[in-house]
Structure 1
Amino acid sequence: MRQNKSLFPNTQSDLPKYLQEFDLTLECKHLISSLPTERGWITDRFYRYQGFWHSLRQIQAVLPCQHHFQAQDTDILLVTTPKSGTTWLKAIVFALMNRFRYNDYTDDNKSTTTLCSQRTLTIFGTHLPLVSLPDSVKNSPCKLVYLCRNPKDTFVSLWHFSNKLRSKGKDMGTLSLTDCFDQFTRGVSVYGPYWDHVLGYWKASFENPERVLFLKYEEMKQQPKVELMKLARFLGRPFSLEEETNGAVDGILKLCSFENLSNLEVNKTGQISATGFDYNTFYRQGKVGDAENYLSPQMIEKLDQVTEEKFQGYVLKF
């Protein structure tokens, strides 16, 4: 039995996978029948599961992940709110953790003599809120790196991203900025509410700082060397004095810069096979403060007010 086609009115065989109809497990069918729904941004509907909004495809994937994923002690989980520098963080952590395996990232191409023990590890990326992580992650000493971005830029980037994905569908139309703004401020966005997502990991970083590192996109842009060295220490791969002198820190930042990543051929023409997302969808500007070019003064004031209310009592500001 296939899912009701009314949920996917624009399904066609030539559409990207993220817009296609697909078979649901019996568990997923039973679950969604009891979940609150809202209008979706990319697909037709959001479903509220464990306090956060997901597309149907996401719920279908989350359930087996929660049941079967077995975290290893050496795993690294990179967690972000969507459109908060996810691709940048993945590139930086991969380059950081593998800098002794692949090409040396020094500015002057000097060969580093620093050695480190090569331990087996796996790097995962996810947007899941803390509450929805598999129990094996919560009960493991594996490391979690969380990156968030100020809510105004996050919202505008997410709005652009959603419309870009919708453009691949037939007669899907463009999302209104004002309609999406209303939903976002009510907490209705992919993996939202944004503020609950952020606070979950913010609290965890204070409760268990050895396991959870909380980073801000704006601070990484403002002082990238400081944040990269902090990240390296947290992951147990600090830079040696020799590496710093030889330019390894600057080399990784240059390698993983927005300009370099967005101009790679694979990111211009490649596609994620599992979802059908074009890699170039993930690159727009990567700037801080771009939201002011789209939001009215009234919108900015409202979003700032919501953020202040949500974060009241916490030493967390953007």
Structure 2
Amino acid sequence: MTEEDGDYRLHDVPLFLDRYKDRFTTFPKEKGWMTDDLYMYQGFWFQSGNGLSIMTAIAAQDQFKPLPSDIYLATLQKCGTTWLKALVFAIVNRNHNYQINGSDSSNPLLFINPHKLVPDIEIEVIRMNPTYAEGHSPRLFSTHTPYTSLPENIVNFGCRIVYMCRDPKDVLVSLFYFANKLRDTSRGLMTIEEAFEMFSKGISPGGPYWEHMKGYRKASLENPSKILFLTYENMKSDTVNNVKNLADFLGYPFTEEEKSRGVMEEIVSLCSFEKLSAVNKHGDLVLGMPNNVFFREGKVGDWTNYLTLEMGQILDHITNKEFHGLDISF
């Protein structure tokens, strides 16, 4: 895949999505984080007015055409999406003549944003050019869409889905900073208190957070051979072993020779926060969204620097209640 292949050449988005406006204008509405509004659709909050919106989610349900060999990466925003995309792209494409290390490496991750290499299905339906040439297999896509709102055939075909979640306290803080970087300056910045109030009530892009997690967790328990459920914290604490398990699940296991050569460790290094953030210091992803907006700290437990102890306890109480019996631990 070349850098040009990863470019977002879009239709006239407002004209393309105009056909969907009558579908949601009467839906429940709250003020948005990054966009003006959030709309409730099929039990979840979707943004208005950008590529990952209620309109593109509905358009994906109507128009996106999955293939049985597809691989889908599902997350809520700020749950390690960029990192997961990089890891999966590196695992699946490691035998495509991409050197992982060295100054002459041709690996696309060294000069292309992972969001271009693993596109969102919600963006795919408004692209003028398909991401993958005909016959490319497997196709890699990502989505923030809840499990129950996925395009129907993704589930019917039994496509492999990798879902990664993250401690809601760190998600809240990361989303707060991400939203303020992208908000229209005329609206002013959110305060952490305002963000906490909305998030704890379930009002956030893709939220309620807890319902989004539960949908994929229950599906993974029912069909573990097709849906892999990961936590960001476990991925960070034992990345090499998780990369091995991820490769096994995807159908691209590491050979003994690769293990002895340290290929798993090379992939972990290639996809490290330090390397990805360095590659994406400059340039834009799409429509003026800077590449560097996707990288802040990437740390576990950073919430303690921004939330009060009481805020943390409230979110923990909600999490323990909502996740009871689902074996989800951060």
Fold equivalence (TM over 0.5):
yes
Pick aligned residue for 1:146 from 151, 154, 163: 163
- How big is each residue's C-alpha offset from its partner over 1:196-251, in whole Å with a ceiling of 9 and x where there is no partner? 00011101111111110001100010000111000000001111111011010000
User: Would you say 1:32 and 2:19 are equivalent positions?
Assistant: no
User: Would you say 1:103 and 2:98 are equivalent positions?
Assistant: yes
SS, match of residue 268 in structure 1: coil
Q: Is the 8 A contact 2:166 2:233 kept in 1?
A: yes
Displacement after TM superposition at 1:171 (Å): 2.2
Question: 1:82-231 residue pairs with structure 2 within 5 A?
Answer: 82-105=77-100, 120-166=137-183, 169-231=184-246
Displacement after TM superposition at 1:22 (Å): 3.5
What is the match of residue 33 of structure 2?
Answer: 41
1:106–1:24 CA distance, 2 compared to 1 (3 A): closer
Displacement after TM superposition at 1:271 (Å): 1.2
Q: TM-score scaled by structure 2? A: 0.82
Which amino acid is 2:239 matched to?
P
What is the match of residue 109 of structure 2?
Answer: none
User: Would you say 1:293 and 2:305 are equivalent positions?
Assistant: yes
Which amino acid is 1:49 matched to?
Y
- How big is each residue's C-alpha offset from its partner over 1:92-123, in whole Å with a ceiling of 9 and x where there is no partner? 1001000001334379x9xxxxxxxx972110
Q: Report how many residues are paired.
A: 285
Partners in 1 of 2:322 and 2:137 — Cα distance?
40
Q: Is the 8 A contact 2:239 2:268 kept in 1?
A: yes
Q: Is the 8 A contact 1:83 1:158 kept in 2?
A: yes
Q: Is the 8 A contact 1:149 1:217 kept in 2?
A: yes
SS, match of residue 73 in structure 2: strand
**Unaligned stretches of 5+ residues in structure 2:** 1-12, 105-134
Displacement after TM superposition at 1:27 (Å): 4.6
Which amino acid is 2:191 matched to?
S
Which amino acid is 1:217 matched to?
Y
Which amino acid is 1:149 matched to?
R
User: Would you say 1:81 and 2:76 are equivalent positions?
Assistant: yes
Q: TM-score scaled by structure 1? A: 0.85
Partners in 2 of 1:281 and 1:26 — Cα distance?
28
Partners in 2 of 1:184 and 1:27 — Cα distance?
30
**Unaligned stretches of 5+ residues in structure 1:** 1-20, 110-117
Partners in 1 of 2:221 and 2:88 — Cα distance?
22
CA RMSD in angstroms comes to 2.0
Displacement after TM superposition at 1:66 (Å): 0.3
What is the match of residue 255 of structure 2?
Answer: 240
1:254–1:42 CA distance, 2 compared to 1 (3 A): same
What is the match of residue 283 of structure 1?
Answer: 295
Displacement after TM superposition at 1:26 (Å): 5.5
Q: Is the 8 A contact 1:271 1:278 kept in 2?
A: yes
Q: Is the 8 A contact 1:24 1:60 kept in 2?
A: no
Which amino acid is 2:208 matched to?
P
Between Structure 1 and Structure 2, whose CA radius of gyration is higher? 1
Partners in 1 of 2:315 and 2:267 — Cα distance?
35
Displacement after TM superposition at 1:126 (Å): 0.8
Displacement after TM superposition at 1:55 (Å): 1.1
Displacement after TM superposition at 1:67 (Å): 0.9
User: Would you say 1:260 and 2:275 are equivalent positions?
Assistant: yes
What is the match of residue 60 of structure 1?
Answer: 55
- How big is each residue's C-alpha offset from its partner over 1:152-209, in whole Å with a ceiling of 9 and x where there is no partner? 001100001000111xx34221101111101100100000000000011101111111
Partners in 1 of 2:276 and 2:95 — Cα distance?
21
Partners in 2 of 1:189 and 1:106 — Cα distance?
39
SS, match of residue 315 in structure 1: coil
Question: Identical aligned pairs, as a percentage?
Answer: 43
Partners in 1 of 2:58 and 2:235 — Cα distance?
33
1:230–1:119 CA distance, 2 compared to 1 (3 A): farther
SS, match of residue 23 in structure 2: helix
Which amino acid is 1:277 matched to?
M
What is the match of residue 9 of structure 2?
Answer: none
What is the match of residue 265 of structure 2?
Answer: 250
Which amino acid is 2:266 matched to?
G
